[in-house]
Amino acid sequence: MKSLVIGGNGFIGTNLVEELLASGHQVRVFDRYPSRYKEPFPQAEYVIGDLGNHGEVHEAVEGIDWVFHLAYTTLPQTSNDDPVYDVRSNLADTVQLLQECRDSKVKKVVFISSGGTVYGVPTQVPIPEDHIQQPICSYGITKLAIEKYLSLFQRLWGLEYVVVRLSNPYGEQQNPHSKQGAIGVFLGNIAEGKPITIWGDGEVVRDYIYISDAVTALVRAAEYQPAADSPRVFNIGAGCGYSLNQIVEELRAVVDVPVVVRYTPGRAVDVPRSVLDIKLARQILGWSPQVELKEGLARSWRWVKSLNLA
């Protein structure tokens, strides 16, 4: 299969491209920037472009079987600052992309949605896919709206898709200086000899999934051939939760240096507890997470140390 990975030079994208190439697929990467930490893969084709440039997107989807849409211009915590920008650069440009995919007869669109934001404040944990969806940030609303457009394009024009509602991925290629991704940022702080900052009391619980498990799920999603009334939206996570305080304790057991923690006031976008129910993905995609937290943290720490941040 020939895949287009939009946002393929980011954290998840770089890992996905590696996995697709290892499985023998042809890959075209479309991103506005090169990969931060990884040299280009010689077997992949790279296109530098912007999802907002419709001519570039038109050319990028030509001859493509699977489109993985990973590009996003906002984060949960920044999206409420400028919802119009969120709608224009994510929702509107994605609908434009879907039109191009439809016209180019793309076989499958795999979209990464957000298991941490589309449900809003959970009333039930672990959260199943049919839990009420009431996002408390613009990012969650645009992700959900894109899910609805995918469903519309499938219904009207037969464009096949799978939505992956991803929890909190961590691992190699995760930017330790990002505003997102607690484990990556904590590991970066530790490697730089700085204290870790925790917003709130550290009792916020999240579902952390190691990156290789996340990209395997994305490939399974692309391979999946849904019947007309089969599910197309899947939670992907570890299916178990850890508080930030527990993560810090796990990190202490993995890293070989002291870990200092500083607490600051909590943030409005943080729901208290988010753990995904992953039964549907296990049953229908035949996927399950393989890497335990301890092992994932050890691999991530080895990678962060290799960056020589200190």
Ligand X SMILES: NC(=O)c1ccc[n+]([C@@H]2O[C@H](COP(=O)([O-])OP(=O)(O)OC[C@H]3O[C@@H](n4cnc5c(N)ncnc54)[C@H](O)[C@@H]3O)[C@@H](O)[C@H]2O)c1
What 3-state DSSP class applies to 293? helix
Out of 3, 4, 5, 10, which residue is the one contacting ligand X (CB under 6 A)? 10
Those residues with Cβ within 8 angstroms of residue 14's Cβ, 6 or more apart along the chain or in another chain: 8, 35, 37, 38, 173
Out of 140, 169, 188, 241, which residue is the one contacting ligand X (CB under 6 A)? 169
- Tokens 């959900």 found at: 144
Residues from 37 through 96 that contact ligand X (CB under 6 A): 50-52, 70-73
Are 144 and 133 contacting, i.e. CB atoms less than 8 angstroms apart? yes
Give yes or no for residue 248 binding ligand X (CB under 6 A).
no
Q: Please, which residue, 39 or 256, has the CB nearer to ligand X?
A: 39
Axis-axis angle for helices 244-254, 182-191 (nearest 10): 40
Supply the minimum distance, in Å, between the C-beta of residue 229 and ligand X: 27
Supply the minimum distance, in Å, between the C-beta of residue 82 and ligand X: 15
What 3-state DSSP class applies to 182? helix
Give yes or no for residue 196 binding ligand X (CB under 6 A).
no
What 3-state DSSP class applies to 81? coil
139 catalytic? Reply is yes
State which H helix or E strand residue 26 sits in: strand 26-31
Supply the minimum distance, in Å, between the C-beta of residue 107 and ligand X: 21
Q: Taking contact as CB under 6 A, which single stretch among the options 39-47, 58-66, 161-169, 238-246 is the one that binds ligand X?
A: 161-169
| Nearest residue relative to ligand X (C-beta) | 10
Give yes or no for residue 300 binding ligand X (CB under 6 A).
no
Give yes or no for residue 32 binding ligand X (CB under 6 A).
yes
- Tokens 């993560």 found at: 247
Total residues binding ligand X (CB under 6 A)? 23
Burial 292-302 (b: 16+ CB within 10 A, else e): ebeebbbbbbe
Q: Taking contact as CB under 6 A, which single stretch among the options 164-172, 222-230, 270-278, 288-296 is the one that binds ligand X?
A: 164-172
Supply the minimum distance, in Å, between the C-beta of residue 35 and ligand X: 7
Q: Which of 72, 139, 210, 224 is catalytic?
A: 139
- Tokens 């493509």 found at: 64
Out of 3, 94, 114, 189, which residue is the one contacting ligand X (CB under 6 A)? 114
Q: Please, which residue, 52 or 200, has the CB nearer to ligand X?
A: 52
One-character DSSP codes across 101-167: HHHTT-SEEEEEEETTTTT-S-SSSSBPTTS----SSHHHHHHHHHHHHHHHHHHHH---EEEEEE-
Supply the minimum distance, in Å, between the C-beta of residue 155 and ligand X: 23
Q: Taking contact as CB under 6 A, which single stretch among the options 11-19, 99-107, 127-135, 225-233 is the one that binds ligand X?
A: 11-19
105 in the Ramachandran plot: left (φ > 0), alpha (ψ -120 to 50) or beta? left
Give yes or no for residue 166 binding ligand X (CB under 6 A).
yes
Interstrand relation of 66-69 and 45-48 (parallel, antiparallel or unpaired): unpaired
Give yes or no for residue 180 binding ligand X (CB under 6 A).
yes
Interface with ligand X (CB under 6 A): 7, 9-13, 31-33, 50-52, 70-73, 112, 114, 166, 168-169, 180-181
What residues act catalytically? 139
